[in-house]
Amino acid sequence: MKRTVLVLAIAALVIAAAAGAAAWQANRFMATPVSVPGDGTLFEISSGSSFAAVTRKLVVAGIIDDDFWFRLHARLTGAASGIQAGEYFIEAGATPQTLLEQFTRGAVQLYSFTIVEGWNQRDLLQALQAHEAIIASMTDEDWPALLEEIGAPVMHPEGLFLPETYRFPRNTTDRQLLSQAFELMQDVLDEEWQDRGTDAPVKTPYETLILASIVEKETARADERPRIAGVFARRLDKGMRLQTDPTVIYGVGPGFDGNLTRKHLQTDTPYNTYRRAGLPPTPIAMPGRAAINAVLHPADGEELYFVATGLDDGSHKFSVTKAEHDAAVAEYLRRLRKKRREGG
């Protein structure tokens, strides 16, 4: 009896020692930095991959030497069943333990895409198609179906997507990103509309987008947006035509070569604000929040005109009377001719 007890005790000690040694070895492995370049590396877990397939891929990629301890630790802790598919960035100094935590959190590599203020729908679609991490599925013909799918109130995509930088994992589709940009624009537009000033020159949120898109195309200067919005507000109030070049250019379409001519100004289109009163039928670009805010809070004043100064700072000259404006236009043309002569 005593002999049996002694044997069992010895066996228990051996098992405990072996378990302790295994635990030590596993912990040592899990805390040892993996082998990746100094600038890190990308590692992708395909959808539906088993944990064994993931660890084998780590071995094949040379990130870990052997996956025995990795698999053992993950099985014992229950982490093996929690890994998530996606593309991961493995930093230098990462350990199997931090990798396992990264895989189970789904902390995938994120990419960025920026919708730039003033882009039109063609610019947006081209940029989406050129992005290496976005699945491009949209063409010009797909806009109506997308707009219906996301619940847009109009069937023209211009101006509906918020200029912002978006973060997303690889293989996000253009439709997913556009849906997010649309929702954010609706949120921003609703917030700004609820806080609009009593002197706002627009009657609906959509009219806000239309006028904000014109302000966006007229200036990139933050200090000028409210002033330009104020000019347009006063012109609308007085029944004057907006007479803004960006709308004419938009009406010409993608064939515009950069040279706005008298013929363009005299050609009637729904967007020619030299020939038609009021706002054009749709936005002409994607306006940012600042332009939307400017339209809903236009600056006070008496100016009814503005023109570019031709200076390198992108500024404009604002005028109250037509005579002042004509003089400002003449000055701009003189400055432009001088730059051309000097090769500037």
How far, in Å, are 41, 60, 99, 104, 343 from residue 55 at the CA level?
16, 9, 11, 14, 62
What pLDDT sits at residue 17?
Answer: 46
What pLDDT sits at residue 19?
Answer: 45
What pLDDT sits at residue 8?
Answer: 47
- Three-state SS for 103-171 is HHHCCCCEEEEECCCCCCHHHHHHHHHHCCCEECCCCHHHHHHHHHHHCCCCCCCCCCCCCCEEEEECC
Average pLDDT on 55-79 reads 91
Tell me the domain boundaries of the chain. Answer: 32-108, 111-189, 200-341
What pLDDT sits at residue 10?
Answer: 52
Confidence band of 24 (pLDDT split at 50, 70, 90): low
Handedness of CA 200, 206, 207, 209 (dihedral sign): positive
Average pLDDT on 125-138 reads 97
Tell me the CB-side half-sphere exposure of residue 81, using CA atoms within 13 A. Answer: 4
Q: 69 with 49: CB under 8 angstroms?
A: no
User: pLDDT > 90: what percent of the chain?
Assistant: 84
Q: What residues does 173 pair with on adjacent strands? A: 135
The model's pLDDT over 259-280, given as tens digits with 9 standing for 90+, comes to 999 999 999 999 999 999 999 9
Q: Quick check: 15 pLDDT over 60?
A: no
Confidence band of 75 (pLDDT split at 50, 70, 90): confident
Tell me the CB-side half-sphere exposure of residue 137, using CA atoms within 13 A. Answer: 11
Average pLDDT on 158-170 reads 97
CATH class of 32-108: alpha beta
Helix axes 225-238, 289-296, angle to 10 degrees: 40
Q: 185 with 288: CB under 8 angstroms?
A: no
Q: Beta strands of the chain (E only): which ranges?
A: 41-45, 86-90, 110-114, 134-135, 165-169, 172-173, 305-308, 316-319
Phi and psi for 317 in degrees, rounded to 5?
Answer: -100, 125
Q: Of residues 25 and 286, which shows the higher confidence score?
A: 286
What pLDDT sits at residue 338?
Answer: 87
Neighbours of 95 (CB within 10 A): 15
What's the pTM? 0.88
**Rounded-to-integer distance, Cα 34 and Cα 54, Å:** 15
Would you mind telling me the total number of residues written for the chain in this entry? 344
Q: Quick check: 22 pLDDT over 60?
A: no
Q: 25 with 69: CB under 8 angstroms?
A: yes
Q: 300 with 227: CB under 8 angstroms?
A: no
Average pLDDT on 221-235 reads 97
